[in-house]
Every structure is written in C-alpha cells, then in structure tokens.
C-alpha cells in the first residue's frame, strides 16, 4: 500500500503523499464574517460584497490527490484531510467501520497503519486547492507515500466518487 521512502525523489511531490502538520482550513467549523470591504463589522454576508472572514485552521495530515504529472505542470495541488480511524470509530457503527476498510464508502479512502502512522482514512468530500508553492514548502513533512498499487486504489476511489463508473 505504501512506497519505500528511499526509492522516491525527496524533491518531488507525488499523488498519494501524506503530509503532516499542514494548515487545513475547516470551512464547516466556526467560520464567521467579520468586516465588509469598507471595514464595517457585519453579522451576515450578502451576495453583493466581498468580506473578510475568520476561518478555523487546524494543523493536520493531508493527502495529495492531484496526479503526479499534474503537480509538475499546474499552479495548484488538490489535497484532502486525513482522520484517525480509532477516533472516528467511536462515533459510528462497527458496520460502517468495516465498510470503510473494504473501501465500499466512495467518499472515504481507507489508509492502513504503517510504522508510526495510525490506521486512518482520507475524507474525499473535503478537498481543497492549495498553491503549489505552499505545498512545496511542506515536502519535508511527508510521512508516507502511496505505492503504485495504493495510487491505483486511490484513482479507483476518485473515479468512483466523481465519475460514477458503471459497475
């Protein structure tokens, strides 16, 4: 599932890289509008103006979803957050945990434990586009990379989620 780190170029970002301590914006949690363009405090946003907003950011592990060749050519990289399965499993049924491990939930991508990395999953519903320059500054925070087989499973999950191929 995971590539041997010594076999990968440390200066290259790859699809399936797991990057730790990345500032991931949580748009679902406690985001609030603060001021409009003229600097006036506002309580509710309207469509006709731009606003300065407070967005909660948490340092967490993320997975790169962009294909490796696209990372080389584009200005932004697609990432999604990684969540610890043990913490998540406290809030859901055992059947859902088993479905996640079997990769039958198309918006969650199971990541088995490896070394110090705990059994986890990527939430493919929470993707963000990050400037390549920002991602490049986190290359030294790579904890794991998916192997060719792991990237194949990831590609299938992404196709299933976004393309909905016939089964």
Read off the pLDDT of residues 30-85 as tens digits, 9 standing for 90 and up.
566 666 677 777 666 666 667 667 777 889 999 999 999 999 999 999 999 999 99
Q: What pLDDT score was predicted for residue 13?
A: 97
Report pLDDT for 40.
Answer: 74
* CATH class of this structure's domain 11-26+58-162: mainly beta
Q: Can you tell me the mean pLDDT for 131-159?
A: 95
Mean pLDDT of 109-136: 96
Per-residue confidence (pLDDT) for residue 167, from 0 to 100? 54
Provide the residue ranges of all domains of the chain, joining segments of one domain with +.
Answer: 11-26+58-162
DSSP string, the chain: -B--GGGS-TTS--TTEEEEEEEEEETTSS-EEEEETTS-B-SS--TTS-EEEE-EEEEEEEEE-S-HHHHHH-SEEEEEEEEEHHHHHTSS-HHHHHHHHTT-STTEEEE--BTTBPSEEEETTS-EEEEHHHHHTTGGGEEEEB-HHHHHHHHHHHHHHHT----
Percentage of the residues of the chain whose pLDDT score is greater than 70: 84
Mean pLDDT, range 1-17, rounded to an integer:
92
Q: What's the rounded mean pLDDT across residues 112-132?
A: 96
Task: Pick the more confident residue, 78 or 161.
Answer: 78
Quote the pLDDT of residue 28.
64
Q: Where is average pLDDT lowest: 4-13, 42-51, 114-123, 138-147?
A: 42-51
pLDDT at 110 over 60: yes
């Amino acid at each position: 599932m995971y590539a041997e780190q010594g076999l990968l170029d440390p200066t290259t970002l790859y699809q399936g890289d797991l990057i730790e301590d990345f500032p991931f914006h949580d748009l679902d949690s406690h985001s609030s509008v603060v001021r409009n363009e003229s600097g006036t405090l506002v309580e509710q946003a309207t469509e006709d103006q731009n606003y300065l907003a407070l967005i909660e950011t948490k340092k967490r592990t993320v997975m790169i979803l962009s294909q490796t060749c696209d990372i080389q050519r584009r200005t932004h990289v697609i990432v999604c957050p990684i969540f610890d399965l043990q913490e998540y499993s406290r809030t859901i049924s055992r059947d859902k945990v088993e479905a996640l491990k079997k990769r039958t939930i198309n918006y969650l991508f199971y990541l088995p434990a490896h070394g110090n990395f705990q059994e986890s999953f990527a939430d493919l519903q929470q993707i963000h586009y990050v400037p390549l320059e920002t991602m490049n500054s986190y290359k030294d925070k790579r904890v794991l990379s998916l192997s060719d087989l792991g990237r194949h499973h990831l590609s299938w999950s992404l196709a299933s989620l976004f393309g909905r191929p016939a089964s």
